[in-house]
Amino acid sequence: MIFSASKKLTVNADSGIRLLRRILSASILTVAIAFNLILFAGTPPAFASLTDDRFDGTIYALYAGNGSLVPPKVKLTDSFKRNKPALLVFYTDDSSDSKQYAIVVSQLQEFYGREADIMPISVDSLPPQPSPELTEPGHYYEGFVPQTVILDQSGKVVFNEKGQIPFEQVDDAFRKVFDLLPREKSLPLKRRVVNELNVELSK
């Protein structure tokens, strides 16, 4: 009889220990879930932004809606061989100025892409030292993004500006290269908003 009571006491103690372990495991799991929810709820979401210097991806596809610009379809040596004007735009994917200027470069391709070679050049792809070769884009890079360089049919630099340049300023340079009428003597180009990032130019 004493042995039976002792056995019952041992069984009850084992059950209590198992119950205690279950409660402890459930408590640890609950704390872990709560901690993860607090951690992830406090982390700001990663949204692409036109106005910061954060890497969001390829800016010409993301902000200009024109993934066809990168990588460039031709090399500068090809432009020299064909006596074709070239537009070099030096940029980085983590520069807010480059992000915003990508839209202008896409507009320039729309108007001049058939007659000139439009070449956005990521400065990350350039060698550390400037190239002495005129046929290498690194020869024209001056350590700033964005930087816009236009070479005419003979390979001469006819335009070299840093920062975000208005479409009209680059358009004026191209008009001289192609011997087109000045803007004031031709049909005016007015910007039409397509969406919050892209604009088109229309007559």
pLDDT tens for 66-109 read 888 999 999 999 999 999 999 999 999 999 999 999 999 999 99
Contact between residue 118 and residue 76 where contact means Cβ atoms under 8 Å apart:
no
Report the Cα 175 to chain-centroid distance in Å: 29
Rounded distance between C-alpha atoms, residue 29 and residue 89, angstroms: 54
d(CA 200, CA 191): 6
- Whole-angstrom CA distances from 6 to 1, 3, 17 are 9, 5, 17
pLDDT digits (tens, 9 = 90+) for 106-134: 999 999 999 999 999 999 999 988 889 99
- Contact between 147 and 161 (Cβ < 8 Å): yes
Return the higher-pLDDT residue of 188 and 33: 33
Tokens of 81: 């061989």
**Residue 130, SS3?**
coil
Tell me which amino acid residue 59 is. I
Contact 123, 141 (CB under 8 A): yes
User: pLDDT tens digits for 34-59?
Assistant: 666 665 555 444 566 777 788 888 89
In whole angstroms, give the CA distance from residue 150 to residue 153. 10
CA distance 177 to 165: 18
